[in-house]
Structure 1
Amino acid sequence: MHTHETHPAVIKRLRRAGGHLSSVVKMLEDGKPCLEVVQQLQAVEKAITQAKKTLIQDHLDHCLSHMLDAQGQAQPDSLDEFRQITKYL
């Protein structure tokens, strides 16, 4: 299993965002004002963005550092992975 120290916090944040998103859906179903709905969607978006940043930073800090050879040179696969993950920043 592939886990990092930050995973429990990221999971907690995403679960909270999921619950919050369900509340936003209910707000729409209940006909709440659009401004209120958009404000709550912004909060959900920020929570998800922060979770993503934390996960990416953790990956960069831990996984890619382990992909160096004995001379401290990055392996070709690790450089490709770095390029791929930075697309999500």
Structure 2
Amino acid sequence: MSHANNPDVLNRLKRAQGHLSKIVEMVEEGRDALVIAQQLQAVVKAVDKAKTFLVLHHIEHHLYEAVGPLPKETRDRLAEMAEITKYL
């Protein structure tokens, strides 16, 4: 399994895909634009979180591959840096 094929990423994307399908139904039914826009924003956020998770996992994977196991202090610092990415 490729590290890019992570089950967490796939689950996040499948949930977003299901949510988007429901939004398409809402549009076809002529539902209120405000409600549709709110739901679209939720899908955008879900896809963005999946992307962030994928990128961070990729970095972590290749960092480990390049330098080997990291000490706990270094892993904690990386986790801190990963946490701040939600503000990008």
Return structure 1 stretches of 4+ with deviation > 4 angstroms. Answer: none
Corresponding position of 1:58: 57
Corresponding position of 1:73: none
Q: Is the 8 A contact 2:12 2:46 kept in 1?
A: yes
Cα distance between partner residues in 1 of 2:63 and 2:24: 38
Corresponding position of 2:18: 19
Q: Is the 8 A contact 2:3 2:61 kept in 1?
A: no
1:64 Cα deviation from its structure 2 partner: 3.8
Cα distance between partner residues in 1 of 2:12 and 2:38: 18
Aligned residues: 68
- Could you state the TM-score of these two structures normalised by the residue count of structure 1? 0.68
Give the number of the structure whose residues are more often helix, by fraction: 2
Q: Is the 8 A contact 2:3 2:58 kept in 1?
A: no
* % identical equivalent positions: 46
- Over the aligned positions, Cα root-mean-square deviation in angstroms equals 1.9
Q: Is the 8 A contact 2:26 2:36 kept in 1?
A: yes
- Could you state the TM-score of these two structures normalised by the residue count of structure 2? 0.69
Q: Is the 8 A contact 2:27 2:36 kept in 1?
A: yes
Tell me the amino acid that sits aligned with residue 56 of structure 2: Q
Corresponding position of 2:80: none
Tell me the amino acid that sits aligned with residue 35 of structure 1: L
Cα distance between partner residues in 1 of 2:9 and 2:64: 21
Tell me the amino acid that sits aligned with residue 63 of structure 1: H
Higher Rg of the two aligned structures: 1
Tell me the amino acid that sits aligned with residue 19 of structure 2: H
